[in-house]
Structure 1
Amino acid sequence: MTQQNATRLFEAVKKDQALQQRLKATANPEAFVKIAQERGYDFSVEELESEISKLSEEDLAAIVNPGWGNRRHINPR
């Protein structure tokens, strides 16, 4: 069930610009999960990682701060 919450959050983010900007401004996955939990989406960092791996580069760039880690840099250094 919690994995589905991550999927549902990503769908909601596509429609909610304010949420999208708030999540993109997060400094790390833990902060991202905390914001999601405040909105009623309960999932772990591991489940977030799993869902992120399924996103296209465009969707990833729209939702996740690219500074989280090397694997997520849209434009590698």
Structure 2
Amino acid sequence: MSQTSVAEFLTAAKQDEGLRQKLQTAMDAKSCIDIAEDVGYDFTAEELEAELNKMPEEEVAGIINPGISPRRHIEPR
């Protein structure tokens, strides 16, 4: 869909403990996208990565799998 959809999804994840818990167990970008699709969002792995790159690592870690570098966790470089 668009970057807006990714931003909206990440905002929703910050506010929804259940959604955040699901994202913290996701092992790759596909898993994150599947979780997003289950709650009505549609975006690509590239759009997700671009939005995560705009955020401070501490903020990303609060949403997606804390304790592991979130950008490497989502898309290994």
The TM-score range, normalised by the shorter chain, is 0.7 to 0.9
Q: Which runs of 4+ in 1 moved over 4 A?
A: none
| Cα distance in structure 2, aligned partners of 1:53 and 1:3 | 12
| Aligned-partner residue type, residue 3 of structure 1 | Q
Identity in percent: 35
Q: Distance in 1 between matches of 2:59 and 2:10?
A: 9
Partner of 1:54: 54
TM-score (norm 1): 0.81
Q: Which residue of 2 aligns with 1:30?
A: 30
1:37-76 → structure 2 map (5 Å cutoff):
37-65=37-65, 66=68, 69=72
Q: What residue is the counterpart of 1:9 in the other structure?
A: 9
Query: 1:15 is aligned with what amino acid?
Result: Q
Could you tell me which runs of 5 or more consecutive residues in structure 2 were left unpaired when the two chains were aligned.
Answer: none
Give structure 1 stretches of 5+ with no counterpart.
73-77
Residue 58 of structure 1 deviates from its aligned partner by 2.0
Q: CA RMSD in A?
A: 2.1
Q: How far does the alpha carbon of each residue in 1:22-58 deviate from its partner, in whole angstroms, 9 at most, with x for none? A: 0110010110001101111100000000000011122
Could you tell me how far 1:14 is from its partner in structure 2? 1.1
